[in-house]
Structure 1
Amino acid sequence: MGGVPSVPQDKSRQVQVIAVGYSRTGTTSISIALEHLLQGPVFHGGNHFFQREDAWMREWCRIISLDGRDPALFSAGLRRTLAGYAAVADAPAYMLLPELLALYPNAKVVLVTRDRARWYASMAPIVNNLTVPMRALDVLLWPCPTWRWLPTYLRWATKR
């Protein structure tokens, strides 16, 4: 963790904590704390979606393509992708809370919040700089391993 994606070694471990909170609300800090408290890897969307290997992100995009079309395969894909993690945080955890609770009914849910005005001030520069049309991102990011899948993920996330 700590800016580097955790990769589980023991795939039999199940998610114990679901930390739901928008990005930039302290999800990285809580992920680091949970990694220490639970003594296991934490899936943090911000770290995983930008730093894992290309094949991993491609598989994630294949799974989200099943959302709303095949609930059983979607759930199976989530379970397979999250196998071995002690906790999940950041996006897409807050978008998938019902599905995650169905998969991990004994998991504890932690709501991560932040003052609205401060959160907005921290997000505004990011959102305001997203002026490139999504179609252009497809072309611009295609040569970049892992990042090439970002437009697919963003399209799914905006529909959620």
Structure 2
Amino acid sequence: MGQQYSQPRPGIKLQVIGAGLPRTGTASISRALEILLDGPVYHGGTQAFLGPEREIKTWIQVLNQWRPESISIRRSNLDLIKERVDGFVAITDSPGSTLVRELMAIYPDAKVICTVRDIGSWERSMATVSNKSTQWFLRFILFPLPSLRYFVDYIDALRQQCTSPG
């Protein structure tokens, strides 16, 4: 966890779902959980951007099917989420923090922890990140980089999910 991709450990069961939004200390809580629970933590941003392309592509697929209209799509989404998260003791950061209901359906015994931050400070921090992640040329700059070439699509899918009604 941290600034490197974490490897899942077969047989490990998810114990904690981090419901805190990005920029609320998710990296710090991830490190603490890694130590306390003695296992790998799925920090969404780190895993999606530093891991194999299947990580970020899976999350884009799940987020683009947000509010599934059929039971089969919901089941498919739950299977995809489980495939990404199995083998980790906890999940923090986006997209996990926006999929708490789905994660609870898969891991009903998991505890939910929500990290928070002063609203004004959080808004300023997110505005800085958001402004940089939506610059028109970013897609071209990131294209040669595995996983990161999908960054703009991932951010767009997260935004759509977070702003959709219901």
1:87 aligns with 2:86: no
* Residue 148 (structure 1) aligned with residue 149 (structure 2): yes
Q: TM-score, normalised by structure 1?
A: 0.87
Aligned to 1:8: 8
Task: For residue 129 of structure 1, give the secondary structure of its aligned residue in structure 2.
Answer: helix
Distance 2:27 2:130 in 1: 19
Identify which range, 103-112 or 67-76, moves more after superposition.
Answer: 67-76
Is the partner of 2:31 in helix, strand or coil?
Answer: helix
Aligned partner of residue 17 in structure 2, secondary structure = strand
SS of 2:8 mapped into structure 1: coil
SS in 1 for 2:121: helix
Deviation at 1:60, TM superposition (A): 3.6
* Distance in 1 separating the partners of 2:90 and 2:6: 11
Residue 110 of structure 2 is aligned to residue 111 of structure 1: no
Distance 1:130 1:74 in 2: 26
Q: Which residue in the other structure is 1:128 paired with? A: 131
Structure 1 residues 150 and 90 mapped into 2: Cα distance closer, same or farther (>3 Å)?
Answer: same
Q: How many residues align?
A: 157
Structure 2: runs of 5 or more not aligned? 162-166
Q: Which amino acid aligns with 2:159?
A: T
- Tell me how far 1:142 sits from its aligned partner: 2.4
Aligned identity (percent) is: 35
**Could you list the runs of 5+ residues in structure 1 that have no partner in the other structure?**
none
Paired letter, 2:118 = D
Contact 2:20–2:116 (Cα < 8 Å) also in 1 = yes
The residue number in structure 2 matching 1:38 is 37
Shift of 1:131: 4.6
